[in-house]
């Protein structure tokens, strides 16, 4: 299957600092990438849909000024958690669809575990 790379895998930050998470599709082009958040023992909750060259679409209840998304190329989307606080500590996972092959399958990155102290 297609490969999605996510970096960093783990980050610990001081409360009030911003954290940037990168999501790359390594062997395919993705016009659309997705950002999820997962709390312990809970399922994945879609935060936003990232579109190459345009503004992201945020799910209800997700603050766009808090979670900045940039999708500058067909292989890279970034999520910046601005002024992270302990309640933002979670597992953040990105996924992408190969627009030309196997369009129906979303491939996931390995996730980023954020701990804001």
Partner 1 sequence: GQNIDQPTEMTATEGAIVQINCTYQTSGFNGLFWYQQHAGEAPTFLSYNVLDGLEEKGRFSSFLSRSKGYSYLLLKELQMKDSASYLCAVRVFSGGYNKLIFGAGTRLAVHP
Residues that bind partner 1 (CB under 8 A): 1, 6, 32, 34, 42-46, 49, 57, 91, 93, 95, 104-111, 113
Smallest gap from Cβ 112 to partner 1, in A, equals 10
Smallest gap from Cβ 107 to partner 1, in A, equals 7
| Of 14 and 100, CB closest to partner 1 | 100
Smallest gap from Cβ 16 to partner 1, in A, equals 26
Smallest gap from Cβ 32 to partner 1, in A, equals 7
| Of 49 and 70, CB closest to partner 1 | 49
CA distance 83 to 81: 7
Report in angstroms the alpha-carbon separations of 51 from 11, 77, 115: 25, 8, 27
| Of 42 and 73, CB closest to partner 1 | 42
Rg (CA), the chain: 13
Report in angstroms the alpha-carbon separations of 81 from 18, 45, 63, 100: 6, 16, 10, 31
Half-sphere exposure (Cβ direction) of 108: Cα atoms closer than 13 Å: 11
């Amino acid at each position: 299957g297609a490969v999605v790379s996510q970096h960093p895998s783990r980050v610990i930050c001081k409360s009030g600092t911003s954290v940037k998470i990168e999501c790359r599709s390594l062997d395919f082009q993705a016009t659309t990438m997705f950002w999820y958040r997962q709390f312990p023992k809970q399922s994945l909750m879609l935060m936003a849909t990232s579109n190459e060259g345009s503004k992201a679409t945020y799910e209800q209840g997700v603050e766009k000024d808090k979670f900045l998304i940039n999708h500058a190329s067909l292989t890279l989307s970034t999520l910046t958690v601005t002024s992270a606080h302990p309640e933002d500590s979670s597992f953040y996972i990105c996924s992408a669809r190969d627009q030309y092959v196997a369009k129906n399958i979303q491939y996931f990155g390995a996730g980023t575990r954020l701990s804001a102290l």
